[in-house]
Structure 1
Amino acid sequence: MKKVLVLTSAVIALIALTGCEPKRGSDAWCEKMDGIPKGQWTFDDTRDYTKYCVFNQKPEEE
């Protein structure tokens, strides 16, 4: 029973933490990316950072 409680708590914590991710291309996302070492960026991160944070294009509304 204790293992189920710990596992459930871990899953809920993971969902809560990933649910607060800033929208790609927003000012908050650009600031977050500034804090991540460039070597850890994906190709998409680099492309979108250049597009949204360097050239200041606004992300498309969904």
Structure 2
Amino acid sequence: MKKVAVLAIISLALMTGCAPEVGSEKWCKAMDAKPKGDWTANEVKDYAKHCVFKTND
């Protein structure tokens, strides 16, 4: 059982490390593929800022 828990933690760490950076082109494409009903309020704000209006910070 302990080995399963360790494997699950390692797998989770590897998957979260592969998420594209918010605002990157890859992230914008991933958001386009994600159902709009599943977006969080922060994702909507970030998508508008980085993918629609593309402000230069």
Fold in common (TM above 0.5):
yes
Alignment match of 1:37 (pick from 12, 35, 38): 35
Distance in 1, Cα, partners of 2:28 & 2:15 = 18
The 4+ residue runs of structure 1 with deviation greater than 6 A are: none
Q: How many residues align?
A: 57
In the TM superposition, what is the alpha-carbon distance from 1:41 to its structure 2 partner? 0.5
3-state SS, counterpart of residue 6 of structure 2: helix
1:25 counterpart residue number? 23
AA partner of residue 24 (structure 1): V
Shift of 1:57: 2.1
- Supply the RMSD in Å over aligned alpha carbons: 1.1
Instruction: State the TM-score, normalizing by the size of structure 2.
Output: 0.90
Give the match for residue 46 of structure 1: 44
**SS of aligned partner of 1:23:** coil
Deviation of the 1:35 alpha carbon: 1.0
In 1: Cα distance, 2:55 partner to 2:23 partner: 8
**Deviations 1:5-38, CA, capped at 9 Å, x for gaps:** 1110011001100111111111011011011100
